[in-house]
Chains A and B, each alone.
Chain A
Amino acid sequence: GNSVTQMEGPVTLSEEAFLTINCTYTATGYPSLFWYVQYPGEGLQLLLKATKADDKGSNKGFEATYRKETTSFHLEKGSVQVSDSAVYFCALSDHPNDYKLSFGAGTTVTVRA
Chain B
Amino acid sequence: DVKVTQSSRYLVKRTGEKVFLECVQDMDHENMFWYRQDPGLGLRLIYFSYDVKMKEKGDIPEGYSVSREKKERFSLILESASTNQTSMYLCASILGGGSYNEQFFGPGTRLTVL
Contacts and interface: CB of A to CB of B under 8 A. Distances in A.
A60 interface: no
A97 to B, nearest CB: 7
Interface string B90-114: 1010101011111111111000000
A89 B104 CA distance: 14
A54 B65 CA distance: 40
Given A43-B107, A44-B92, A99-B96, 8 more contacts: A44-B90, A46-B102, A49-B102, A99-B99, A100-B48, A100-B58, A103-B43, A105-B42
Interface of B: 4, 31, 33, 35, 40-45, 48, 50, 58, 90, 92, 94, 96, 98-108
B58 A96 contact: no
Interface in A27-46: 32, 36, 41-46
Interface of A: 4, 32, 36, 41-46, 49, 51, 89, 93-101, 103-106
Nearest to A90: B42
Contacts of B96: 99
A73 to B, nearest CB: 15
The 4 closest A-B pairs by CB, nearest first: A43-B105, A93-B99, A103-B42, A103-B43
A43 B42 contact: no
Contacts, number: 61
Q: Which of A42, A44, A96, A104 counts the most B-chain CB atoms under 10 A from its CB?
A: A44
B107 A42 contact: yes
5 contacts: A32-B100, A42-B107, A99-B103, A100-B58, A105-B40
